[in-house]
Amino acid sequence: MKTKVWLWIVIAVVVIAAGILVWNSQKPTPPAEEVAKPADVAGFNPDLFVYAGAGDAETLDPSKAYDTASSEIIFQCYDNLLAYKPGSLTEFIPMLATEVPTVENGLISKDGLTYTFPIRKGVKFHNGAILTPEDVEYSFERNMLADPVGGPMWMLLEPLLGVGTIEDYACQLAGVDDFSKVDEKNLIKTAQAVMNAVEVKGDSVVFHLAQPYPPFLSILARNCSWSVILNKKWMIEHGDWDGKAETWTKWHNLELEEQTLFATAMGTGPYKHISWNRSNSTHTLEAHADYWRGKAAIKTAIINNSVTEFNTRKLMLERGEADAIYVPVENSPQIEGTPGVNLIRGLPRLNNVCAIFNQEINAVDNEFVGSGKLDGNGIPPDFFSDINIRKAFCYAFDYEAFINEVVLGEASVPYGVIPKGLSDFFDEKGFQYSYDLAKAEEYFKKAFNGQVWEKGFKLTLVWNIPNTTRKTACEILKHGIESINPRFKVEVQGMEWNTMLPRRREGRLPMVFIGWLADYADPHNFVYPYLHSKGDFMSFTGGIGRAFAAREFDALINAGINETDPQKRIAIYTELQKKSLELAPHLMLYDAYDRRAHRDYVKGFTFDPICPAQYDLYSLSKSLK
Amino acid sequence: MLSYIIRRLLFLPLVLFGITVLIFALVSTLGPWTRVATFVPSPDAERHVNLEAMIKKYHLDDPPLKMYLRWLNNLFHGNLGWSQSSHMTVAEAIGHRFPATLELTLFAVLPVIVIGIILGVISAVHHNDPIDHSTRIFAIVLWSLPDFVLGLAVLMVGFGVLGWFPPGRLSSWAHLEVIKASFRAFTGMYTVDALLNGRLDIFWDALRHIIAPVITLSCLWWAFMLRVTRSSMLDVLNQDYVRTARAKGLAEPVVIKKHALRNALIPVTTVAGNMLLGLMGGVVIVETVFNYPGLGLLTSTAATRLDVPCVVGVALFYAVILVVVNLAVDILYSVIDPRVRLE
C-alpha cells in the first residue's frame, strides 16, 4: 500500500514539474511582436484585403436588405446618384448624377416636389454594359414595386407616394382593406403611379414627390442600399420584373431566396461580387477594372463574417491572417497596444440606446409588475404615465459609471433622442441628465401624490440574452433606485429574444431596452421612431403613451419634416431634443461610439458615421511604408 | 444477415416519423409570436417590420397539426424547407455542412480508436504499474478538460504562438483558388477534393487547418476510449481461458492479441459507434472555437434562432446516421465475435 502512495506522489510531482517546464519554456520565446512580424512580411499581399467579422448578410437584394451586414456588401458593389461630401452629413457630391440638385441650380423645383438628376455618361456596369437613365428609373421602380415585407422600401414610398407600403397604396386606390382584394385595374394603376413618380427626361431622371421632403437627398445618397442603381437589361435577362405595369405583382413581396439579387450583385460599384459562400459566411469581391472613378487599389477582398469567436478574430489580426476585424466594445482593451495594429476608438456613429417607459402596461397575468397595484409589491399599469416617476428614473441612472466602466468610455451622455453624431442639426448646448439621487428622491416623493414614496414599489427589468451591456445598464438603474428608498425593489431578468418578443408585443415589459441605428443621416429618422405617436418606439408605450406623444410631439415632428429652410429645421430639432428630455418619454441611456481595428499597413481609412460598411474598400490600400 | 439488415432499414422510416412527431409536438407549444422572432434577428432589428403580415405569410398561426401535415407534404416533395438562420434551404445547408463535419470526424476518429485502444491495452497489460497509472492520470486529465478550454489553448499555442494551425477551413489564398470554376468540388471535403484535383498545396493548407480541431476533438475521446478498452481488457485478462492459454505456455503477445483483445473489443465497438455519433454531435464547441463551419455550428445557430425547419431537418439527418451507424455496429459484432448471429 505504501509503495502505491509513493508512486502517486512521484507521478503527481512529475506531472506538475512537466507542466511548469512547458510553461516556462514558452516564456523565453520572443514577444508576439517579433513572432508576428516575419509572418506578416512573408505573407504580405498588398492586393488582398481580409476582413473577419461575425454575423452574415441576410440578402444582397437592395429591395429587401435592411441589416448592416447586407448593406455592407451592397455598399461595395453599387453606386448611388449622390454621396455625402467627406466629413459632412449635410452636403452632397454627385456620383452617378453629374450635379447635386438644389433650388438654386433649378434641379429642385421651388415647391420642393420635383427633383431632377442629370445622369453621368460612360459609366460601365460590372458586365461592361453602359449605364443609362433607364437603368436609374428601373432601379427605383423595381424596388418600390417589389417592396417585400420587412424591407426598407418605405423610405422611398413615403416621400414619393405618401404611403408606407406599396400594398397600402393599392388598397387606398381600390378602397379595400386587404391587398388580395385589389382588382386588376387598380393594380395596374398602382404600378403606373410608381412609374410616374420616377421618369426619364432626356439624359436626366426626374422624381415627383407626394409632399416636400427635406431629407429626400439623404435617402438617395451613397450608404442607402435601397437607392442603388441596378442594371435593367441584366435584371430582365435574369428573370426579374420586365418593366411592365401589368406584371409587377409576380415579383412583389417574393420570398427572400426567390429574389434575383438574393445572392448576387450587378452594379456599377467599385467591386464585383464574385461569390457568397453561405456555409462559410464569406463574400469574395474583386475590383471592377472599368470603374468610372478608376480601379480600386485593393484587387481582391474577402469579407469573412463567420468568425463569431472574438479570440479567434483577435489571433487572426495578430497573425496578419486578417487585415481588419470586428471588435465589440467590451473587447477593445484586449486589442489596445497590440503591436502592428491600429485601434481607432471613439468614432461617433449615428446610434443611441434608450429604455422606453411603458405608460400602459398590460398587467393581466404579468410576472414583471408584481401585484399590479401600488401596494409596495408591484406597480400599477399606468405607473410610468406619471412624469415624476419617469424623471426620477432618469436621475437615478449613473450615466458616468455606465459610460466609463461598461462601454469603456465609448459613448456619451445624450442631449435627447437625436445622437451626438447629428449635432449639425441641433444646438448642442442643451440640457443633459446626470446621476442625481437627491433630485430623483424629490420626484419620487411627488409621484402619485406621495403614495409611491410611502408604499414603495416592485418591478422587473428585462434584458435580452446575450446583451450583457444592457444587463449591466439594468443593474446600474436598479442600484440607483434601490439606494433611494428601501421600499423600492427592482429585479433584473435576462430573456432569450424569441421569448421576449411576444411579451414585448403584448406590452408586458415595464421598460423596453432598445437601440436605434440611423437609416439615413437626418434627425427625422430619430425623432419619428422615438417620439411620434405612430413611431416604432412609442408603440411600446401603450395607448396612454401614444396619446401623450400625439399631444406633445406629433405637430412638431411634422413641422420639422415639412420645413425646407435648414435654419428653421435646426430650431425645431433643438426644441424636440429639449422636450424629449423634459417630458422623458424614454430614459435616454447613451449615444454609442464605434471603433475599428486593422493592421497598421492598411492605409486610407476614414470614418463616415453613416456608412454601413466598416471599411469603404475603395478608399483603402495596403503598404508597408 | 441480409434479411436482418433489410429489416433494420425498414424500421428507419418509422423511427424518422416518430422523431418528426416528437419534435413537432415540442415545437407546437411555441406561439406564433415566438416563431416569428426567427425573422427578426435581434430586438433592435424590429423596425418597420409588419410582424402580423409575416405571421400570415408563413402561416405561423396555423394549428400544429396543419403545420405538421404541410411540412410532411413538402417533405414528400423533397423539400425540407428554408433555413432562415443559414440563408439557404435546409437540404442545401446540410449538404454543405455535413462534408465539413464528416471530414473533421474522420480525421479525429482514427487517432481516437488507434491511440485509445493501443494505450488501453498497454494500460491493462501493465495493470497497476507506473505505466498504467500515468496513462490513467493522463486520460483523466484529458477527459476532464472542458473542450472550450482545451480548444482555446490549442488555438493560442498552435496559431497564436507557433502560427502553425490557423482557424477556419482554408487560408485566404486557398479560398480564392477553391471558388474558381476550374476547382471541382467532388465531396465537399477540402482535403479529399484537393487531392482529386491534384492540388497538393491546397491539400496541405486544408490539412493545416484541420489539425487543431482534430487534436481538440480527439483528445477528449481517446481518453474515453482508453478507459473503456482498459476496463474491458482487464475483465477479459482475468477470465479462465486466458489463464488456460498462459498455462499451456503460449507467448504473452499471442495471449493478448489472439485470445484477449478480440473479446475485449466487443464493448469497445459499441462505444466506438456511439463515439462516432458523439463526435459528430459534439463538434459544436470545437467548430465555434476554430471557426469551422460544420453541422455543429449549423445546429447551434438554428436552435438559438428557433429556426424550426433547420432544427427538424438536422434532427432527421442525425436520426438516419444514428440508425445506420448502429446497424454497422451490429454487423461489426458478428465479424468480431462469430458467436453473435444476426437474425
Domains annotated on chain B, with CATH: 13-79 (no CATH), 90-336 (1.10.3720.10)
The answer to whether residues A563 and A498 belong to one domain is yes
Predicted TM-score of the model (pTM): 0.85
B168 to chain A nearest CA, in Å? Answer: 8
Cα of B197 vs its chain's centroid, Å? 26
Give A400: exposed, middle or buried? Use CB within 10 Å, 0-12, 13-18, 19+: exposed
Q: Give the closest-approach CA distance of A115 to chain B in angstroms.
A: 26
Sign of CA dihedral A360, A362, A366, A372: positive
* Structural domain range at position A115: 68-265
Of B48 and A486, the structure prediction assigns the larger pLDDT to A486
Q: Is the pLDDT of residue B96 over 60?
A: yes
Going by DSSP bridges, is the β-strand pair A204-208/A114-118 parallel, antiparallel, or unpaired?
antiparallel
- Best mutation site among B36, B39, B44 for testing chain A: the one with the most A CBs within 10 Å? B44
Say what the pLDDT of residue A7 is.
Answer: 65
A16 occurs within a structural domain: no
pLDDT digits (tens, 9 = 90+) for A353-400: 999 999 999 998 999 999 999 999 999 999 999 999 999 999 999 999
- Lowest-pLDDT choice from A29-43, A89-103, A453-467, A500-514: A29-43
* pLDDT for B218: 85
Banded pLDDT at B56 (limits 50, 70, 90):
confident
Chain A hits for B31, Cβ within 8 Å: 502
pLDDT of residue B44: 83
Does A613 share its domain with A478?
Answer: no
Tell whether A481 is covered by a domain: yes
A156-165, pLDDT tens digit by residue? 999 999 998 9
Say whether pLDDT at A540 is over 90.
Answer: yes
Residues 291-330 of A with CB under 8 A from B: 300, 302, 304, 306-309, 311-312, 315-316, 318-319, 321
Question: In chain B, whose CA is at the least distance from the CA of A470?
Answer: B43
Cell, residue A68: 448592416
Residue A606: inside a domain, yes or no? Answer: yes
Q: Which residue has the higher pLDDT, A260 or B226?
A: A260
DSSP A354: E
Distances (CA, A) of A290 to A118, A604, A621, A622: 21, 21, 18, 21
Q: What is the CATH number of the domain that holds A552?
A: 3.10.105.10
Region A455-477: mean pLDDT is 93
Which residues in chain B have Cβ-Cβ distances shorter than 8 Å to A165?
Answer: 50
Domain contains A60: no
- pLDDT confidence of A268, banded at 50, 70, 90? very high
First-last CA distance in chain B = 6
Whether the predicted pLDDT of A32 surpasses 50: no
Q: What is the arithmetic mean of pLDDT over A565-572?
A: 92
* Confidence grade of residue A24 (pLDDT, cut at 50, 70, 90): very low
Q: What is the mean pLDDT of chain A?
A: 91
C-alpha cell at A13: 510531482
Distance from CA of B332 to the nearest CA of A (A): 35
Distances from the Cα of A439 to the Cαs of A358, A395, A433, A574, B14, in angstroms? 22, 7, 11, 24, 68
Q: What is the mean pLDDT of residues A254-260?
A: 90
- pLDDT at residue number A450: 94
Is the Cβ pair B53, A149 closer than 8 Å? yes
> What per-residue confidence (pLDDT) applies to A38?
36
Question: What's the pLDDT at A181?
Answer: 93
Element (H, E) at B327: helix B308-336
What are A127-151's pLDDT values in tens digits?
999 999 999 999 999 999 999 988 8
| pLDDT recorded at residue B181 | 82
A465 at B interface, C-beta within 8 A: no
CB contact under 8 A, A7 and B130: yes
Q: How far is A599 from chain B (nearest CA, A)?
A: 16
Buried-state track B109-127, b at ≥16 Cβ within 10 A, e below 16? bebbbebbbebbbbbbbee
Is A611 contained in some domain? yes
Closest residue to B34, CB basis, from A48, A502, A536: A502
CATH code of the domain in which A132 resides: 3.90.76.10
- The predicted pLDDT at position A15 comes to 67
The interface predicted TM-score of the complex, written ipTM, equals 0.80
Is the pLDDT higher at A541 or at B323?
A541
Which of these, A61, A47, A203, lies nearest to A139 by C-alpha position? A61
Given pLDDT bands bounded at 50, 70 and 90, which one contains residue A3?
A: low
State chain B's mean pLDDT as an integer. 85
Residue A317 shares a structural domain with residue A426:
no
> Where a domain ends, among A214, A247, A265?
A265
Mark yes or no for CB contact A11/B39 under 8 Å.
no
Q: How far is Cα A586 from Cα A46, in angstroms, rounded to an integer?
A: 48
Query: Taking 90 as the threshold, does the pLDDT of residue A234 lie above it?
Result: yes
Residues A306 and A245 in one domain: no
Taking contacts as CB-CB distances below 8 angstroms, the residues of chain A near B161 are: 26, 29, 35
The DSSP result for A51-83, as a single string, is EE-BS--S---TTT--SHHHHHHHHHH---SEE
Answer whether residue A94 is part of any domain.
yes
Total domains, chain A: 3
C-alpha cell at position A260: 434575383
Q: Is A285 on the interface with B (CB under 8 A)?
A: no
What is the radius of gyration, based on Cα positions, of chain B? Answer: 24
Of A274 and B125, the one with more pLDDT:
A274
Q: Do B133 and A11 touch (CB under 8 A)?
A: yes
Q: Is the pLDDT of residue A27 over 50?
A: no
What is the mean predicted confidence (pLDDT) over B96-106? 90
pLDDT band at A16 (very low <50, low <70, confident <90, very high): low
Residue B49 has pLDDT above 70, yes or no: yes
Residue partners of B283: CB distance under 8 A and separation at least 6:
B101, B104, B105, B213, B217, B292, B294, B295, B296
Considering the domain boundaries, does residue A17 fall inside one?
no
Q: Is the pLDDT of residue A35 over 50?
A: no
Condensed to tens digits (0 to 9), the pLDDT of residues A298-336 reads: 999 999 998 888 988 999 999 889 999 999 998 999 999
- CA distance linking residue A230 with residue A172, whole number of Å: 29
- Are A569 and A605 part of one and the same domain? no
- Indicate if A553 and A427 belong to the same structural domain: yes
Q: Tell me the pLDDT band of B258, cut-offs 50, 70 and 90.
A: confident
**Contact at CB, A255 and B39, closer than 8 angstroms:** no
Q: What is the pLDDT of residues B279-332, one digit of tens each?
A: 776 688 888 888 888 888 888 888 888 888 898 898 888 888 888 888 888 888
In this predicted structure, the answer to whether residue A26 has a pLDDT above a threshold of 60 is: no
Given a cut of 60, is residue A23 above it in pLDDT? no
A-B interface: how many C-beta pairs under 8 angstroms? Answer: 163
Together in a domain, A185 and A305: no
Q: Say which residue the cell 434584458 belongs to.
A: A463
Residue-wise pLDDT for B138-190, tens only, equals 888 888 888 888 888 888 888 888 888 888 888 888 888 888 888 888 888 99
For residue A27, being part of any structural domain is answered with no
The secondary structure of chain A in percent helix, strand, coil, rounded to multiples of 5, reads 40, 20, 40
Largest CA distance in chain A: 102
Contact yes or no for A149 and B169 at CB 8 A: no
DSSP per-residue letters across A191-219: HHHHHHHEEEETTEEEEE-SS--TTHHHH
Q: From the CB of residue A152, how many other CB atoms can be counted at a distance below 10 Å?
A: 27
Name the percent of chain B lying above pLDDT 90. 9
pLDDT at A31: 37
Pair (A558, A441) in one structural domain = yes
Same domain, residue pair A96 and A202: yes
Say which CATH number the domain at A293 has: 3.40.190.10
* pLDDT for position A5: 62
End position of a domain, from candidates A241, A265, A289: A265
A37, pLDDT greater than 80:
no
Among B42, B93, B288, the residue with its CB nearest the CB of A497 is B42
Of the three residues A265, A287, A317, the one that is the final residue of a domain is: A265
For residue range B200-245, list pLDDT tens digits in order: 999 999 999 999 999 888 887 888 888 888 988 888 888 898 889 8
Q: pLDDT-based confidence at A472, cuts 50/70/90?
A: very high
Q: How confident is the model at residue A11 (pLDDT cuts 50, 70, 90)?
A: low
Based on the fold, state whether residues A183 and A280 are members of the same structural domain.
no
- Tell me: do A311 and A434 sit in the same domain: no
The per-residue pLDDT for range A82-124, each reduced to its tens digit, is 999 988 888 999 999 999 999 999 999 999 999 999 999 999 9
pLDDT number for residue B293: 87
Residue A237 has pLDDT above 80, yes or no: yes
**pLDDT on residue B312:** 87
Residue A17: per-residue pLDDT: 60
- Same domain for A588 and A471? yes
